[in-house]
Amino acid sequence: MAVTMLPMRPAYGEALLALGHANPNVVALSADVSNSDFSYRFAEAFPERFVNVGIAEQSLVDVAVGLAYSGKIPFANAFAFLFATRALEMIRTHLCYGNANVKLMAAYAGLSDSFNGPTHNSISDVAIMRSLPRMTVVVPGDTVALAKLLPQVAEWPGPVYFRMNRNDVPLIFDDVAAASYVPVIGKAVALRPGSDVTIICNGMMVSRSLEAADLLAGEGISAAVLEMHTVKPLDTEAIIAAAEATGALVTAEEHSIIGGLGGAVAETISDACPVPLKRVGVPDRFAETGPYHAILDRYGMSVAHVVAAAKAAVALKK
Amino acid sequence: MHYHSEALIRELSARAQTFRINTLEMVYNAQSGHIGGAFSVAEILAALYFHHLKIDPARPDWPERDRLLFSKGHACTALYSALAYRGFFPVEELMTFRQLNSRLQGHPDRNKLPGIEVSAGPLGHGVAVGVGMALAQRMNVSKPSARSAGSARASAGKTYVILGDGEINAGVVWEGMMSAAKYRLGNLCAILDYNGIQQTGSTADVMPTEPICDKWASFGWHVQEIHGHNVGEILNALDLADEVHAMPSVIIARTTKGKGVSFMEYDNRWHGTSPDETQFKAALAELEEGLGQWQ
């Protein structure tokens, strides 16, 4: 199957620009990386609604908070790891405790800034962000998902962490299928039916999970694929239904296996419907510099890892 | 600059002393809170809330209001007292400070109490959040020519930030200062409550910040240095800051931590200590005597 690869960053730049045209209250801020994340498109069109605070992520978030408390809808742009670690106290205190309506546009997430290496990777951000009361965490899987979810982020009440890949990613849907793909924040999307195991996935791992499901089918295992683009608020009904229907689960995410989507699913089923669960993601370690797809493969997120996890989960069923 | 009558100055000075008395009672009642920094900021709050700020307690969300960001959130008893007497909530509520079900949280919560522009407690946020508010106030002016002027008059309201001198140890304060200067925020005014004491000792020992006026000036701010317990000087400085349009303003207010109670002044132990009954009575007597001087 020929896979179309499309770049996430221009898609984001285009979607943010469209939001700027649609809503005059949308403003954008940057920690001087607008040519990295393509928010420069917004800056060029709306210079009076764009703020560059320099290389200062803590101030970036605080300035956005002031704008939000004055009725603006700020889209703050920075690298994911800097939001999740350097600016975390600002996010906790003002976006979450204060309920500031700031949208965090987290660029270069996961391992996607692979050549810059582990200092620029972000493998704990979902765990950190989803533990904060009032935070919403959204992880689009491709350019189609990004374009359909970003306008919802602008309308969503309260803070949002929007986690984006740096690179070209496989297009999950062709033009025809994309028309029927209607992601809604907080609702899982059933991408493929199956009866033996459900692979719950998001971001870059959606396309890899679909590939894994194809391979599993060839080995007689029927794997459902459930896209969980929203990690918080989590669609627990869809997870429990999947656990009950297939009796085994796999989570697949470009994130540490600690505390992210895998952790969220584990918490959900341990309360409601304990079934075997295998988590695919980065084991508890830092990665290294190298080509993106090779790094994903080496650090636990190859298609083969998903296939193996699915088989292991099925084998654990009684 | 405006003429400020002796009667106004006496009235505001008495208000400030009332905030101190309330603070003492609230912290004694809760056996928890921060007295020293509340005492040092009292006159600044009185001058702003009871004279200078364009606010309406009946409409705390009035879009064109001035914003006051109280960045040194631990000193909130003085702020709560000012807001209550200004009419944002009943004065009787003050004594619920730090109790269960109270709107008067240990540190100010903007979602619970009217008049709180920003939740505060973790130090250092006020200037950068104030930059965002001042930018929004400027964006909300419809005339593009007025917007680019960067003047207070060209904006829908003005933003004030009160911060402490220990607080400026935090790097994000200086990040915010740079952004304010870059965007020439003439509608942003910071008031630095420079009481010289922080939790474990004098600011000079913990983290030297002098020459403080030179530092702010070199960051592109208009600087005034005043006696922070002299209401007349505070009012004049606020008026003068309104005449500065091309750059942000800071008023360095030299104050005394624990001001008004002899055994609390200049003593870092009263940063976060609660008085026992004997101390409470002695402090109250001193504060009431001080209040009498203004009445």
Phi, psi (5° rounding) for residue A235? -80, 80
Return residues 106-165 of A near B (CB < 8 Å): none
DSSP state of B227: E
If one counts the domains in chain A, the total is: 2
pLDDT digits 0-9 by tens, A191-211: 999 999 999 999 999 999 999
Confidence label for B147 from pLDDT (cuts 50, 70 and 90): very low
Question: Does residue A272 lie in a domain region?
Answer: yes
Q: ipTM score of the complex? A: 0.95
pLDDT digits 0-9 by tens, A26-74: 999 999 999 999 999 999 999 999 999 999 999 999 999 999 999 999 9
Alpha carbon of A86: minimum distance to chain B alpha carbons (Å): 11
B130, B133, B139 member nearest A48 (Cβ):
B139
Q: Looking at residues B230-253, what average pLDDT do you find?
A: 97
> Dihedral (C-alpha) A15, A20, A22, A24: value to the nearest 10 degrees?
160
**Final residue belonging to a domain, choices A170, A196, A218:** A170
Range of A222's domain? Answer: 186-315
CA gap B91, B82 in Å, rounded: 9
CA gap A187, A282 in Å, rounded: 25
Q: Is the pLDDT of residue A2 over 80?
A: no
Q: Is the pLDDT of residue B140 over 80?
A: yes
Q: Is the pLDDT of residue B278 over 70?
A: yes
Tell me: do A124 and A200 sit in the same domain.
Answer: no
pLDDT value, residue A41? 98
pLDDT digits 0-9 by tens, B59-116: 999 999 999 999 999 999 999 999 999 999 999 999 999 999 999 999 999 999 999 9
Q: Looking at residues A129-147, what average pLDDT do you find?
A: 97
Q: Is the pLDDT of residue B154 over 70?
A: no
Taking contacts as CB-CB distances below 8 angstroms, the residues of chain A near B110 are 69, 98
B111, B122, B132 member nearest A63 (Cβ):
B132
Q: State yes or no: cis peptide before A183, omega within 30 of 0.
A: no
Q: State yes or no: cis peptide before A233, omega within 30 of 0.
A: yes
Q: DSSP 3-state assignment of B187?
A: coil
B147, B172, B183 member nearest A62 (Cβ):
B172
Q: Looking at residues B207-232, what average pLDDT do you find?
A: 98
CA gap A80, A31 in Å, rounded: 12
pLDDT value, residue B144? 52
pLDDT digits 0-9 by tens, A30-39: 999 999 999 9
Q: What residue spans define the domains of chain B?
A: 42-255
DSSP state of B75: G
Taking contacts as CB-CB distances below 8 angstroms, the residues of chain A near B121 are 93
Tell me: do A200 and A83 sit in the same domain.
Answer: no
Taking contacts as CB-CB distances below 8 angstroms, the residues of chain A near B138 are none
Tell me: do A20 and A166 sit in the same domain.
Answer: yes
Judged by a CB distance cut-off of 8 A, whether residue A64 touches chain B is: yes
CB contact under 8 A, A90 and B136: no
Q: Is the pLDDT of residue A161 over 90?
A: yes
Q: Is the pLDDT of residue B153 over 90?
A: no
Tell me: do A96 and A238 sit in the same domain.
Answer: no
Taking contacts as CB-CB distances below 8 angstroms, the residues of chain A near B147 are 48
Report DSSP letters for A23-46, one per residue.
-TTEEEEESS-HHHHSTHHHHHH-
Phi-psi category of residue A268: left, alpha or beta, with phi > 0 → left and psi -120 to 50 → alpha? alpha
A56, A89, A94 member nearest B175 (Cβ):
A56
Question: Does residue A253 lie in a domain region?
Answer: yes
Q: Is the pLDDT of residue B146 over 80?
A: no
Tell me: do A72 and A201 sit in the same domain.
Answer: no
CATH architecture for the domain at B42-255: 3-Layer(aba) Sandwich (3.40)
Interface test with A, best of B71, B143, B175 (most A CBs within 10 A): B175
Question: Does residue A179 lie in a domain region?
Answer: no
- pTM, entire model: 0.96
pLDDT value, residue B143? 57
- Number of A:B CB contacts under 8 A? 98
Taking contacts as CB-CB distances below 8 angstroms, the residues of chain B near A62 are 125, 128-129, 131-132, 172, 176
Tell me: do A151 and A216 sit in the same domain.
Answer: no
Tell me: do A13 and A161 sit in the same domain.
Answer: yes
pLDDT value, residue A271? 86
Residue in chain A lying closest to B126 (CA): A62
Judged by a CB distance cut-off of 8 A, whether residue A57 touches chain B is: no
Phi, psi (5° rounding) for residue A256? -55, 145
Taking contacts as CB-CB distances below 8 angstroms, the residues of chain A near B130 are 66
pLDDT value, residue B152? 44
Helix (H) or strand (E) holding A256: strand A249-256
B122, B133, B176 member nearest A70 (Cβ):
B133
Tell me: do A74 and A222 sit in the same domain.
Answer: no
Tell me: do A40 and A126 sit in the same domain.
Answer: yes
Phi, psi (5° rounding) for residue B87? 105, 15
Q: DSSP 3-state assignment of A278?
A: strand
Average confidence score pLDDT of chain B: 94
More confident residue, A114 or A174: A114
Confidence label for B141 from pLDDT (cuts 50, 70 and 90): confident
Judged by a CB distance cut-off of 8 A, whether residue A69 touches chain B is: yes
pLDDT value, residue B226? 98
Q: Is the pLDDT of residue A260 over 60?
A: yes
Judged by a CB distance cut-off of 8 A, whether residue A58 touches chain B is: yes
A65, A93, A97 member nearest B132 (Cβ):
A65
Residue in chain A lying closest to B120 (CA): A93
pLDDT value, residue A175? 77
Return residues 2-41 of A near B (CB < 8 Å): 27
Tell me: do A98 and A198 sit in the same domain.
Answer: no
Tell me: do A162 and A97 sit in the same domain.
Answer: yes
Interface test with B, best of A59, A90, A94 (most B CBs within 10 A): A59
List active site positions of A. 57
Question: Does residue A249 lie in a domain region?
Answer: yes
DSSP state of A301: I
Beta strand pairing call for A103-107 and A73-79: parallel
Q: Is the pLDDT of residue B284 over 90?
A: yes
Cβ(B248)–Cβ(B1) below 8 Å: no
pLDDT value, residue B176? 98
Taking contacts as CB-CB distances below 8 angstroms, the residues of chain A near B149 are none
CB contact under 8 A, B132 and A71: no
Tell me: do A219 and A151 sit in the same domain.
Answer: no
CA gap B164, B44 in Å, rounded: 12
Rounded alpha-carbon distances, angstroms, from residue B83 to A74, A263, B45, B74: 29, 44, 9, 16
Helix axes B6-30, B277-294, angle to 10 degrees: 170
CATH number at residue A87: 3.40.50.970
pLDDT value, residue A156? 98
Q: 10 Å Cβ neighbour count for A294?
A: 11
Judged by a CB distance cut-off of 8 A, whether residue B57 touches chain A is: no
CB contact under 8 A, A66 and B131: yes
Q: Give Cβ neighbours of residue B45 (< 8 Å, ≥ 6 apart).
A: B16, B19, B78, B79, B82, B162
Residue in chain B lying closest to A76 (CA): B132
What's the token pair of residue B160? 């004030």
